[in-house]
Copies of this chain bind each other. A is one copy, B any other.
Amino acid sequence: MPDTLNKIYHPDKISLREVGLRDGLQMVAQFPSTDARKRWISEEYAAGIRHFEVGSFLPKVGYPAFADVEILVDYAGDINNLHSVALCPNLRGAKNALKSKVAELTCVVSASEAHNLANLNRYQKQTLDEIAMVCGLRDKTHHRPLISVGIAMSFGCSISGNVEPGEVVDIAAKCFESGVDMVWLADTVGYAGPKQVEHLIDRVRGSLGDQPIGIHLHDTRGLGLANASAALNAGVRALDASLGGLGGCPFVPNATGNIVMEDLAFLCQKEGFETGIDIEALVAVRRILETEMPAEILYGGYAKAGSPRIIP
């Protein structure tokens, strides 16, 4: 389905995917009501964002923040040109997601065996086999949603340390062979640096050609936007971020979260990309988070400083 994919993640246009509704809520004590999350989606859509990871297909009892994922999928699906995504951490979740109207299922595998075991309780090979099964099941559906895979710990692992780029390339290759449409390189714990980002993207491109790649960065050690800039320089146009930098990782307690959507949008503008995003309007959506999740720290410079007088 390259035509569909090129429309959704155009290889020459910036696609910023809001992951705060999923990655941003997985560790919080208090999460926005379903209604507030609908407003979050619609207001951020009005500010120009078109890609939303709206939740995760997980058991409703253990994961109340995502119990209404189908409701949000339906809500998002009714908005014109809004591309909805949901995380499917396992086969059961993927089966449920395939029954929904979600436009993209995101599966997960780790670049390190140790983290795959800790995070998913499976060996990498088992996870990759499950991803292949999900692709097979998807092929039997009528609506044929996209399948993407996030490769966690692509730039280093907080359990086992270094990750060789070749391992990431091998995993990405296996995903594409199984029918995955797009792979997201994830710096889950904030180990990446700019040159490393460029190097890994070059390696993946060198081995796999123009297969669609996105990048998922955390600002754990302050280099998130420097790494995003490097990814842009390396030709990646699909980037994850979250409003206010929401997000946490159970493998790095107390750390800062995803890269900040508002500042990322400013970066893209400064670098000369047409984004269609109104950053002031984006900043205004933070109000929902401040009201619904008062205990959460919201990050970001743009929100504090406001617009520059003239964007050169």
| Chain A interface (Cβ < 8 Å from any Cβ of B) | 155-163, 189-196, 219-226, 228-230, 252, 254-256, 260, 262-264, 266-267, 269-272, 300-302, 304-305, 308-310, 312
A156 partner, pick from B223, B254, B302, B312, beta carbons under 8 A = B312
B309 touches A159 (CB 8 A): yes
Chain B residue numbers with a CB within 8 Å of A300 are 222
A159 to chain B, nearest CB (A): 7
Chain B residue numbers with a CB within 8 Å of A189 are 305, 308
Would you list 28 pairs from A and B whose C-beta atoms are within 8 A, ordered by A residue? Answer: A155-B312, A160-B309, A163-B312, A190-B301, A193-B267, A194-B267, A195-B271, A219-B301, A220-B301, A221-B301, A221-B305, A221-B308, A222-B264, A222-B266, A222-B267, A222-B302, A223-B225, A223-B267, A225-B225, A229-B229, A229-B230, A252-B305, A254-B304, A254-B305, A255-B301, A256-B301, A256-B304, A256-B305
Given contacts A220-B304, A225-B226, 8 further A-B contacts (CB under 8 A): A158-B308, A160-B309, A193-B267, A222-B260, A222-B264, A222-B300, A226-B228, A229-B230
Chain B residue numbers with a CB within 8 Å of A226 are 225-226, 228-229, 267
Q: Provided the pairs A221-B266, A267-B223 are in contact, do residues A305 and B159 lie with their beta carbons within 8 angstroms?
A: no
Chain B residue numbers with a CB within 8 Å of A156 are 308-310, 312
Give chain A's interface secondary structure class. loop
Chain B residue numbers with a CB within 8 Å of A264 are 222
Q: Nearest chain-B residue to A230 (Cβ)?
A: B229
B191 touches A161 (CB 8 A): no
| Most chain B beta-carbon neighbours within 10 Å: one of A161, A219, A264, A310 | A310
Chain B residue numbers with a CB within 8 Å of A312 are 155-156, 161-163, 191, 196
Inter-chain CA distance A243–B224, complex, in Å, is 19
| Most chain B beta-carbon neighbours within 10 Å: one of A223, A230, A300 | A223
Inter-chain CA distance A252–B302, complex, in Å, is 11
Inter-chain CA distance A304–B223, complex, in Å, is 13
Inter-chain CA distance A266–B312, complex, in Å, is 29
A263 touches B229 (CB 8 A): no
